[in-house]
Amino acid sequence: MDKQEIVGIDRNMGTDFLIGLIVGVAILIIGGIIPGIGAISVPTLPQSLSSDVTKIIVVVILASLFETFAFFDIVLSFFHNKLGRFGLKLPFIVAVILTSVVFAGFHYSAYGNFSSSSGSFASAFIMGLVFCYERKFTNSNLPGILTHMVLNYWIAFGSLSIVLG
């Protein structure tokens, strides 16, 4: 696998883009229809991130890029492939669950505690599962990046109507 395939710059780039966009919007719609599914609270943002442009650059673009590469390339690969060097080969589903727990734990400080009534930890865990499988089935980070951007946009601006309206 070469570096271009990892980031999604290949002949399937258009399909990867559409998958990421469709999955992101579908998650927002499902979350709006079924209470508790999309219960992601809006983290408290520092005053330095109060402008809309800064939110878009830091929360929507940079966080989506960093988290996708860090968790769904590095961490997922570590659990699924790299542990084999130490004699421990985990099945993909176990690697997905562990990666999703780490992803949700990373968001722990922004979202509150494990028993939060908003269900944010559980939502972040579920999104980790989605991102892992997007990565696996498309062999690209592009769908995960775009899905993550759609969700972070919604979180940063706190309204489904912004995305759909």
What tens digit of pLDDT does each residue of 59-103 get? Answer: 889 989 999 999 998 899 999 888 877 878 889 999 999 999 999
CA 21 to chain centre: 12
Helix (H) or strand (E) holding 139: none
State the residue range of the domain holding 81. 3-41+57-164
Sign, CA dihedral 10-13-15-16, equals: positive
Q: For the chain, what's the residue count?
A: 165
Helix (H) or strand (E) holding 106: helix 92-106
Chain position carrying tokens 């706190």:
158
Each residue's pLDDT, cut to its tens digit, for the chain (165 residues) gives 555 555 556 677 788 888 888 888 887 777 766 655 545 554 555 666 668 888 888 888 998 999 999 999 889 999 988 887 787 888 999 999 999 999 988 877 665 554 443 457 778 888 999 999 999 988 888 999 999 998 888 877 765 443 333
Total domains present in the chain: 1
Asked if residue 51 is part of any domain, the answer here is no
